[in-house]
Structure 1
Amino acid sequence: MSTTEPRITVGVDGSAGSTAAVAWAAKLAALRHLELRIVHGLQLTGVYYGGGVLGAGAEALFDAIRTDGERVVADARALAASIDKDLAVTTDLPNEPPVPMLIDESRRARLLVVGRTGTDGFADMLLGGTAASVVSHAHGPVVVVRGRHDSADVPESGPVVVGVDGSPNSEQAIAVAFEEAALRGAPLIALHAWNDVTYEDAFGSARILTQPESLEEDEERLLGQRLAGWQEKYPDVAIRRVLVRDRPRHALLEVSAEAQLVVVGSRGRGGFTGMLLGSTSQALVQHARCPVLVVRPEPKA
């Protein structure tokens, strides 16, 4: 049984990336008639115990950190209200490190939203292993809000793109992508990337697959099978199938330049295997030119 609540949660830190994330989350919450929850991790425990800050100065530092956190949350709340004055907004400033706090928040949110970069508590959040920790260990879908040309200019038009690889998690990504495209009145690009080189062992030994024409026919058939039924369920969504012989990260990064949202599963087979644990994850969350929505596998009954 799902424990999610009817809300979208966004992590804030006062940076430009955080501001873009709040605006994006507020617009989606208003569109979906959901509550928006704004959270900011103070991480004060380290100040007292890990940072060696004791004595008379500790209380003043504590107050300064909390005051700054309250300002960050208040600014985020004001931005959300400017987008939709009727939007239901709640806030929280827990004394927790940002990453575990966000992972815990993802247990109850319909969607967890984070910015492309940050300062202080969110510093390096989307760099290296910290990004993998947040996105890979969240208990629900996560959006990393990115803009065009590594800026806060987040696109609001263009198609929704979904990466299709034939895995069960990819099936969930397709379902989410159709829903998002229908909600936005946007066309959908279903992209299936494949190549004729596979890596068979831990040392990266490669082999060239024979009969590439036959393989391409198989891949085209797979894409058609994965989309079967969805067009009937969402007849108003215009869909374009794209089959490319390329690595998924290259193809998805290229198409992100024209998209308003890219939707992918957290794991897959072939090119998508281990996606959020390696180079493809880094490429998407650090270099995509639009928001990236990562769909988590549904828990087993």
Structure 2
Amino acid sequence: MAVDSVGSAVVVGVDGSESALAAVRLAAAEAARWHRPLRVVHAFIWPTLHSPVTPGTEGPADGGLRGQARQLVTAAVDQAQAVAPGLEVTGEIVDGAPAAVLLDASTDAALVVLGDRGMGGFTALVVGSVAVTVAAYARCPVLVARGAVDPHGPIVVGVDGSEVSRRAVEFAVRTAARRGATVLALHAYRHPVSTGPGDMQPLVYDESQLHEEEQRALAESVTGLTARYPEVSIRRESVHARAPKALTEASRTAQLLVVGGQGRGELTGLLLGSVSRSMLHHSHCPVAVVRA
């Protein structure tokens, strides 16, 4: 499902953490740009633990854990409306574990937004398990709030020639059109890539010829998008480097980093590729992971 699906909302997960509030602000701005309603969701996990219900857990309407959950949802809704006055915002509490609740919401969402770490995450972890799980299994693009946003920076998208990568490039260009931003399509390569089972990489290859071939692959990844989005300036850059290192460096001055969920040459059984997982941990700006 893509961001332009008719009638679908932007969904943001909240848990009361600072990371979640950053996600709310990011989600509100994005929903306003796409003219979408915003759905604020809090996963209330207590009922799933099969623990006895006591006055301290459920409590009266204005007390107990569920009352606290209502308060944090209300605060998140208020913050979203402050960021984007006039935006249609709803808030709800859904019983269940955070990852499961957000994955269920992704089936008919335009975009799922969440923070990189929740209240239950260890501070030593760079990115939380919920963010990784949702990015790996969501049925729509996932936007993870992390790092800082350079409003004047480009939208950087990683390109590797795969089908998922092409969807990521289109997502980046459409997003840039809404934001009035430029796009940097960045392709990092190390050496010739095998094109089929049993192919062997040559022991010796012409570096200049390889660069030309990689440049052509990069150009093909944006074919047709310039005509469809003439208002968006798309700059292409091909570098001889490891993809995670090149994308991490580019994210320092970007307003958004977009990556495909799984890249060329990665095992088809992997739901979240090594590059996209690395960016969730190391990007200096918000990261969008596009799988579907």
TM over 0.5: yes
Give runs of aligned pairs for residues 94-113 of structure 1, distance below 5 A: 94-113=94-113
Give runs of aligned pairs for residues 134-213 of structure 1, distance below 5 A: 134-148=134-148, 154-196=149-191, 210-213=205-208
Pairing 1:89–2:89 present:
yes
Aligned to 2:257: 262
Pairing 1:77–2:77 present:
yes
TM-aligned CA deviation for residue 8 of structure 1: 0.4
Identity of aligned residues (%): 38
- The TM-score, its normalising length taken from structure 1, stands at 0.84
Q: 1:293 to 1:88 in 2, by over 3 A?
A: same
Q: 2:20 aligns with which of 18, 21, 37?
A: 18
Q: Which is helix-richer, 1 or 2?
A: 1
Aligned to 2:58: 62
TM-aligned CA deviation for residue 80 of structure 1: 1.0
Whether the 8 Å CA contact 1:4–1:109 is kept in 2: the answer is no
* Separation of aligned partners in 2, 1:122 and 1:171: 35
Q: Which 10-residue stretch deviates more, 67-76 or 206-215? A: 206-215
Whether the 8 Å CA contact 1:178–1:230 is kept in 2: the answer is yes
Whether the 8 Å CA contact 1:13–1:121 is kept in 2: the answer is no
* Separation of aligned partners in 1, 2:150 and 2:75: 22
SS in 2 for 1:133: helix
Aligned to 1:7: 9
TM-aligned CA deviation for residue 182 of structure 1: 1.1
Give runs of aligned pairs for residues 95-134 of structure 1, distance below 5 A: 95-120=95-120, 126-127=127-128, 130-134=130-134
Pairing 1:31–2:33 present:
yes
Whether the 8 Å CA contact 1:193–1:245 is kept in 2: the answer is yes
Q: 1:214 to 1:253 in 2, by over 3 A?
A: same
Aligned residues: 281
Unpaired stretches in structure 1, ≥5 consecutive residues: 149-153
Q: 1:11 to 1:19 in 2, by over 3 A?
A: same
* Separation of aligned partners in 2, 1:271 and 1:244: 20
Whether the 8 Å CA contact 1:196–1:208 is kept in 2: the answer is no
* Separation of aligned partners in 2, 1:288 and 1:254: 8
Q: Which 10-residue stretch deviates more, 262-271 or 77-86? A: 262-271
Q: 1:232 aligns with which of 227, 235, 251?
A: 227
Unpaired stretches in structure 2, ≥5 consecutive residues: none
TM-aligned CA deviation for residue 275 of structure 1: 7.7
- The TM-score, its normalising length taken from structure 2, stands at 0.86
Q: 1:127 to 1:79 in 2, by over 3 A?
A: closer
* Separation of aligned partners in 1, 2:93 and 2:261: 29
Whether the 8 Å CA contact 1:169–1:265 is kept in 2: the answer is yes
TM-aligned CA deviation for residue 77 of structure 1: 0.7
SS in 2 for 1:264: strand
TM-aligned CA deviation for residue 279 of structure 1: 4.2
What are the Cα deviations for residues 187-242 of structure 1, in whole angstroms up to 9, with x where unaligned?
11010111027699xxxx99856223222211111111222221122222112111
* Separation of aligned partners in 2, 1:192 and 1:266: 15
Q: Which 10-residue stretch deviates more, 76-85 or 108-117? A: 76-85
Q: 1:274 to 1:293 in 2, by over 3 A?
A: farther
* Separation of aligned partners in 2, 1:121 and 1:211: 48
SS in 1 for 2:58: helix
Aligned to 1:151: none
